[in-house]
A and B are shown apart, each in its own frame.
Chain A
Amino acid sequence: MRLFITRIKGFIKYTDLMNELVSRDLKLKYRRSILGYLWSILNPLFIMIIMTIVFSRMFKRGNIPNYPVYLISGQILFNFMNLSTKSAIQSINGSASLLKKTYVPKYIFTVSKVESGLIDCIFSFGALLIVMIFTRNHFSPYLLLFPLILIQEFIFILGLSMLLAASNVFFHDIYYIYNAITTAWLYLTPIFYPIEYLPDMLRWFVVHLNPMYAYVTQLRCLTLYNCFPDISMIIYGCADAVIMLMIGIWFFLKTQDKFILYI
């Protein structure tokens, strides 16, 4: 219990550092680009347009009322996961010079990467709104529930990132292995195709074991189907997030004293 209190105190002491790190990430990302933060909106928008051109006719028979909105709802959530974990996986190795010379709680670096990813994701919700306006999609009051989904996903990503960042310290090729995994993950999440297109066996696995499916489906309820998300999806989403966070924190705390010997 005393350990817990010191940890909380440490966290409060270093919140300013966390903010500085997040603002550094955001500043450096778009420094010296004319459009600046607009890229966070333009990027998903361009990809959505290209994918709509390619895929919208292919999946016409599926029960999708508004393909561009269907696509971009999945895409921004998957990008949030993909980009945050990929920058967080290097967070400990990348801060080696600092960790060797000063005492700073190590998780700060991992958490700050996920936090920058969250801010980027919130920006890209602007792209979603633009698409919804242009395709004359209806706006339901349920749309205001989107932070609930982001919180679930944020917790899930945080857990995954801590696990990945800690293991990448010991084995640098985790990064490359993970790159291959996310590619498979992308195709196993119904982002540009409807879930009904998957064979039954595979569909069962995606629905029950892919947390991204739970988050994407919840968001589509708000943007596309004008309803409150399915309770079972919310339960899956929250359970996955909490379990992942516990695994991540456990592994990170267990190994963090050895980081310094490997970085």
Chain B
Amino acid sequence: MNDIVIDVNNVTIRFNLASEKVDNLKEYFVKLVKRELLFQEFLAVKDASFQIRKGESWALVGSNGSGKSTLLKAICGILKPYRGTISVNGAISPLLELGAGFDMNLTAKENIYLNGTVLGHSKKYIQKHFDEIVEFSELQNFLNSPVKNFSSGMRARLGFAIATTVQPDILIVDEILAVGDYAFQQKCLKRMNEMMNGGTTLLFVSHSINQVRTLCKHAIWIDQGTIQKKGEVNEVCDAYMDMMEKKQKK
């Protein structure tokens, strides 16, 4: 059983969805005195369990706000589950948002170092792969201009290039290929395929069911925080599409 890389065990994730968020002391005391301090509980993910084995490719599908991204964040270690456990075996490369760590005032070159170290690489490692990153992002002519002048597509290219220099054990991709032109999307898909052939486990979120069907072998369908169905990709996607169509007819 050693080949399980992600083990999600009865995980529940809770948010405080208070109608008015109290974020300063003055309001806190006013509400405390008035006895209006409510903790409105919202469970973004309810009692989810699944196991992912090494080398498998899984997709998470579901409508907006169903808890897909929350679940991914919990697996990356950004969120702590309220109940249940998540154990992860191996190095994760999270692609929740491309270029999340960019400082808009720094140049592309400086951002490659900053973002690379954010992802946990050493400076030496980035120096070694610098040319590779620049080549993949196709931004040779813009290395010394500040990232604030870049288009969102250019930022995405740079972000993807930095995040995928490494061959991670687990690659987590959240809806990032929506930006970027067709050629770049193909390039990204190709690179993800290469990684999977090299033994990387993939966890993929996308609203493009076609991409899901071509890239993944398994899928999980989440609706309003609960897992509706998990298993072979085509079965799950068919069930999900059925539900979506029924909803539309109503």
Chain A residues proximal to chain B, CB less than 8 Å: 13-14, 16-17, 19-21, 24, 27-28, 31, 97-104, 170-174, 177, 257, 260-262
Q: Does B118 contact A (CB under 8 A)?
A: yes
Q: Which residues of A contact B103 (CB under 8 A)?
A: 24, 28
Query: Which B-chain residue is minimally distant from A263 (CB atoms)?
Result: B23
A200 to B154, CA, bound (A): 65
Q: Which residues of B contact A173 (CB under 8 A)?
A: 24-26
What is the distance, in angstroms, from A9's C-beta to the closest C-beta of chain B?
Answer: 11
Counting contact residues on chain B (CB < 8 A from A), the size range is: 20 to 34
Within 8 A of A (CB), among B52-86: 73, 76-80
Chain B residues proximal to chain A, CB less than 8 Å: 15-16, 23-26, 28, 73, 76-80, 92, 94, 96-97, 100-101, 103, 105-106, 110, 113-114, 117-123
User: What are 15 contact pairs spanning A and B, CB under 8 A?
Assistant: A14-B120, A16-B122, A19-B123, A20-B113, A20-B114, A98-B118, A101-B97, A101-B100, A102-B78, A103-B77, A103-B94, A170-B23, A171-B28, A172-B23, A260-B78
A174 contacts B79, C-beta separation under 8 Å: no
A171 contacts B24, C-beta separation under 8 Å: yes
Q: Which residues of A contact B77 (CB under 8 A)?
A: 103
Q: Which residues of B contact A98 (CB under 8 A)?
A: 100-101, 118
**Which 4 A-B residue pairs are closest in the complex by CB-CB distance?**
A101-B100, A17-B117, A173-B24, A103-B77
Which of A20, A100, A177 neighbours the largest number of chain B CB atoms within 10 Å of its CB? A20
B28 contacts A16, C-beta separation under 8 Å: no
A262 contacts B23, C-beta separation under 8 Å: yes
Q: Which residues of A contact B114 (CB under 8 A)?
A: 17, 20-21, 24
